[in-house]
Amino acid sequence: MNVAVAFNQLVDQVQRMGRYLGTRWNSAADRIALALERFDAACDLERVQERIKLVRGAGVSGYRGAAPLDAPLSEIVCGVADPPSPPDRATLIAADGSQIYPDPHAPALYYLINTGVFTYYHGEPRLPNQQSAPQLYYKQSEIEDQDGRTINNQTVNARRTVEEMKRLAERAAELATDSTAYRPLIALHDGGLLKFFGASEIAGAKQLEADYFKALRSLAESRAVLAGYPGAQRASYVIALLHLLSLAPEQVNDANLKTNGDLEGLSDARFYAEILLPGQRSALMAQNSPQNLEYKKREPAFEIAFFYLNVAEEGEAPRIARVDVPMWVAREASAVDALHALLLQQCAIQGRKRYPYALTRADELAVVSGHERAQVDQLIRIAMLENGLTPEESEKLQTKGLARGKRRQHRIKR
């Protein structure tokens, strides 16, 4: 089959997709206008909090919306005319991870987690500190679950997440006693801070959860300003709250909160693109969910709050980021202001990319390229040969290698 012909079949489909997305974007205008109207009316914090109490008291399980903390939902902080001033000096730590998943067709069964930790000294003429920590897992107890099955990718992802947070906590603990490391001590995690380890497909979930909270506790003891920085996300926590506020008390039930009603399909990022000017942030809020409640029950300081931030510069299109912070950070106004200012400065370093510089560098330290994976596999083959073992790939993998090699035209012999 001619590959080019098969690819051409996608052209019409891609064009239809573009028209669909354009129509969807334009149709959101009415919903945005309605959301803005409700948002402007949400200046009565007492009424908003009463409605949140109603949801919680009624045992409504379907509400996953925002719950403002001490400021009205419509509060906007630090506009262009009065941007936050970063501290003269600060230390930023960023952690990210990458992995090689277990491959049942490889010569040996293993997985690898590589964690990158990047330390940036703001306001100091010091070179950044770079650390990369690869860890190979190959023991039967590490690569199999309790039923003897090879662990799945979800388990490896969960273990990588915990490893990232552990490395972040270890580095923060080191710097907490370092007189040359200036405060505030900002600790950046690539992703949200609310983690769910209770899924049935994750092996060793209870231990992972315990290790994650242990790392959080260590970060709190180091007085680190911890922040999670999710990537592209379609969260609608604030939209869900605006929908809740539109309901009469007797309408607050699971059936009416399964969707966002007449605001369904609208994301927080799309909404805040209409509100936040470059450099502005939203009010602090918490996510109303059973998971976050469990965090709070474990320790009040562990409850996760968040705010939205427009990291674009003046004259650019809005670029809305969500920033997660634990309650020990959210309750300290100066810490939130410093985080706000330093994130804007970090994104400015990246230019058009508009992503925190320290997190980008941590990702570069963590990523495992295809070439590096091949090197790991080669090292494993050599080690197996040195120990009297013959590394052989599965027949399926060998067949794939032949199929993906240089293609030759089939000729019938005459």
- The Cα 135–Cα 138 span in angstroms is 10
Per-residue model confidence (pLDDT) at position 104: 83
Residue 150 to residues 73, 278, 325, 384, Cα–Cα distance (Å): 47, 48, 35, 20
Specify the pLDDT at position 257: 87
pLDDT value of residue 357: 97
**Sorting pLDDT into bands at 50, 70 and 90, what band is 396?**
very low
* pLDDT tens readout for residues 135-176: 999 999 999 988 889 999 999 999 999 999 999 999 999 999
Determine which helix (DSSP H) or strand (DSSP E) holds 189, and give its type and residue range: strand 185-189
pLDDT at 397: 43
Q: Is pLDDT of 322 > 90?
A: yes
pLDDT tens digits for 116-134? 999 999 998 899 999 999 9
- Residue 399, pLDDT > 60, answer no
State yes or no: pLDDT of 68 exceeds 50.
yes
At residue 394, the pLDDT reads: 47
What percent of the chain is modeled with pLDDT above 90? 56
Beta bridge partners of 95: 117, 189
> Does the pLDDT of residue 202 top 60, yes or no?
yes
Q: Is 333 left (phi over 0), alpha (psi -120 to 50) or beta?
A: alpha
Q: What are the pLDDT digits (tens) for 374-393? A: 899 889 999 989 998 887 75
Q: What is the pLDDT of residue 3?
A: 47
Cα separation of 3 and 381, whole Å? 35
| Distances, alpha carbon 170 to alpha carbons 21, 126, 314, in Å | 44, 21, 37
